[in-house]
Amino acid sequence: MPYRRTMKLMLSPVVAGMWRLHQWQLDVPARVRWIEAALALGITSFDHADIYGGYAVEALFGEALAASPGLRERLQIVTKCGIKLTGPARPAHALKSYDSSRAHIVASVDASLAALRTDRIDLLLLHRPDHLMDPDEVADTFTELKALGKVLAFGVSNHAPSQLAMLQRRFALATNQIEFSPLQMRALADGTLDQCVDLGLQPMIWSPLARGALFGGGDAQAERVHAALAEIGRERGVSAATIAYAWIRRHPSRPIPIAGSRRIEGLRDAVAALDIDLAAEDWYRIWQASMGHEVP
């Protein structure tokens, strides 16, 4: 079976990550102001998952959209489904597990639409690989949701190349959201990013700053990488964080980093990377710092 043509990913070049929104302690007007500030920086895409905040984050974001109705037409919403968590928000879930069945995907989409106070999801991702996934059933479900106008585009998250390929042969996907940073380079070695280049598929990147480990000191690898980022940043007159984002974006798959900071200055660091054309030797300086040795 041939590959389906990849769908064009219509997101801003930096995406705002919402997974900690429930921890920010922002009232509704403050949430609206934060979204407006992100939009002013050119960040128009916002990344969610149904499970974030114990199934609470989408509703917090939806309250902001309801309070300022004009916002929805100025932004894109990404959300994910497929992980079933146990807890008061989902009493029917007896066990943490994965579920890519039609029934679960459709129910998750309807719940997300209601929580987000919107009539459509711009991009829906399967959050984790489901060992029991029936790719034909998933493809048929995606086709149905698209025809209904509930979801405009589809992708996966944290999927290995073989898992993505199995679904891509049946339905045109838009992205694979993966972990990638100067401290976590597995995607360079396992074929994930090679596949993205081959398919013309832009990956979305979660934890681009390695959950802050790039700047918190600690182990020798993090210290080496931070020193390299800081040195190149001084040469360019930008922050070490901006160079980390530029390092990610330098890959030919044209990755889209997800900036998860509440701080607007943190979002500015990510946006500033759009103006950095990192030389190949600088990219490899950071690679070498992470690996602890020269290229073979």
Query: Phi, psi (5° rounding) for residue 103?
Result: -60, -45
Query: Mind giving me the DSSP string for 224-255?
Result: HHHHHHHHHHHHHTS-HHHHHHHHHHTSTT--
The maximal CA–CA distance of the chain, rounded, in angstroms, is 56
Q: 221: which residues sit within 8 A by CB, 6+ positions away?
A: 183, 290, 292
Q: How far apart are CA 187 and CA 175, in angstroms?
A: 14
Exactly one of 3, 52, 55, 284 is catalytic; which is it? 52
* CA angle (157 as vertex; 270, 240 as ends), nearest 5: 20
Q: Is 245 a catalytic residue?
A: no
- Whether the CB-CB separation of 206 and 186 falls below 8 Å is answered with no
- Angle at which helices 57-67 and 102-116 cross, to 10°: 40
Q: Which tokens go with 269?
A: 């660091």
- Whether the CB-CB separation of 243 and 278 falls below 8 Å is answered with yes
Q: How far apart are CA 229 and CA 278, in angstroms?
A: 11
Q: 187: which residues sit within 8 A by CB, 6+ positions away?
A: 178, 179, 180, 193, 203
Query: Phi, psi (5° rounding) for residue 35?
Result: -60, -45
- The SS3 call for residue 107 is helix
- Whether the CB-CB separation of 15 and 46 falls below 8 Å is answered with yes
Residue bearing tokens 């209904």: 148
Which residues are known catalytic residues?
52
